[in-house]
Amino acid sequence: MLKKRIIPAIDVANNKAVKYVQFRNPTIIGDPAELGQKYAEQGADEILYLDTTASLQSHEVRHEWIRHVAEQLYVPFSVVGGIRTIDDFKSVLRAGADKVGVNTAAVNRPELLSEAADIFGKQCVVLALDAKPVRNNEDEIIRWEVYTHSAHNSSGLDAIEWAQRAEELGAGEIVCTSIDRDGMKNGYDNVLLKALTDAVNIPVIASGGAGSLEHIRDTFIEGQVDAALVASLLHYGELTVHDIKQYLHDLGEIPVRYVPTKAAQR
């Protein structure tokens, strides 16, 4: 059975690691490379970096911080944000990233996914899917809608249909963020995540809402995801990656890469 992954998520704004709540009000929390190295030492399977300023301010991806991360990090890492062209894919991979994630550019021109998969392989093409629920007059969720530009603009696309199309075009995995739950620490949107995992055959990574060990367990069981992104719990020192993996390992129902050593560095 494939091991489930724990992936720390680090937002980057102006070359600094920051933390958002619902994609707003960033607080500086440190250096991207140093944070990534810290989480790798705790047992992280991968690290995901989101360059929010590149998306919001429409500037080019800044490669200096990516190269700095690549020099210090010994686990795979992804870079999401500001990727618009095949040349952007190429430059970010050359800077040292293992995977590249796209949201806005893929919505604007879906063929980018196919072009990138053909050149670099599906394994390094990540669809970043930011979604919000759409409700009827009875306040029931009838679907989820895709948002772009770091969750600021509605695309009108149905999240499940877009995920299926992205898989057909060449996306190798999907990072799905529930915008309403991002940074709120009230649990992942497992209904959305289960709808996604039922609809596609590529790995789905849960993002947005981890506030406890139980939330992480629940998204693997209820959402049937392949990996869980964790941010606030780690950034504010409430848990380590080792704590999370030890908890999941001890439960005995969720397979993780777990080494019972002194990796629980805080």
Query: What residues are labeled active site?
Result: 11, 130
Number of Cβ within 10 Å of residue 118's Cβ equals 12
CB atoms within 10 A of CB 141: 14
On the CB side of 135, CA atoms within 13 Å amount to 4
Angle at alpha carbon of residue 160, lines to 183 and 225, rounded to 5°: 55
Q: Are strands 227-230 and 173-178 parallel, antiparallel or unpaired?
A: unpaired
Orientation angle between helical segments 190-199 and 213-221, nearest 10 degrees: 30
In whole angstroms, give the CA distance from residue 249 to residue 260. Answer: 10
The CB density around residue 170, as the number of other CB atoms within 10 Å, is 21
Phi, psi of 225 (to 5 degrees): -80, 165
Q: How far is CA 134 from CA 27, 46, 131, 138, 194, in A?
A: 29, 32, 10, 11, 17
